[in-house]
Amino acid sequence: GLSQYLEVLTSSFDAQKGKEAFYHGFVLGLTATLTGDYRIRSNRESGFGRYDIAAFPRKAGERGMVIECKQAESENALETKAQEALEQIKARDYDAEFRAQGVENVLHYGISFCGKHVHVEMV
């Protein structure tokens, strides 16, 4: 999955600490494969904040997706950071823009990174 892409495609220089924007761009690039079925948006305001990436379905009745990326300080913190990302999506109501567009079902992805290691949580 995602960790295999990081391992094979990226350099350890790409995935340095303090480079959360790199991971955001990496995941955003991977969502390009979804553009036939989704409208992909990055860093847009919704609810009480700004999500990292959102995928709005082109077909009525399909699920949307919100992706929030976090950088962990250590591999031991990956799960905690992914959970924090999920909590941020809920606390800041990133689903607001989806509701405004009539999308009722939205998947939430919290993705945390540490170097070439990744952890994904989904609700």
CB 76 within 8 A of CB 91: no
Q: How far out from the chain centre does Cα 18 lie?
A: 17
pLDDT digits (tens, 9 = 90+) for 96-108: 999 999 999 999 9
- pTM passes above 0.85: yes
Round to whole Å and give the CA distance between 47 and 77.
27
pLDDT digits (tens, 9 = 90+) for 57-85: 999 999 999 999 999 999 999 999 999 99
Structure tokens at 15: 């995935």
Q: With left for phi above 0 and alpha for psi between -120 and 50, is residue 13 left, alpha or beta?
A: alpha
Q: What's the DSSP call for residue 121?
A: E
Residues 6+ apart with CB under 8 A from 7: 116
Round to whole Å and give the CA distance between 110 and 123.
9
pLDDT band for 20, please (50, 70, 90 cuts). Answer: confident
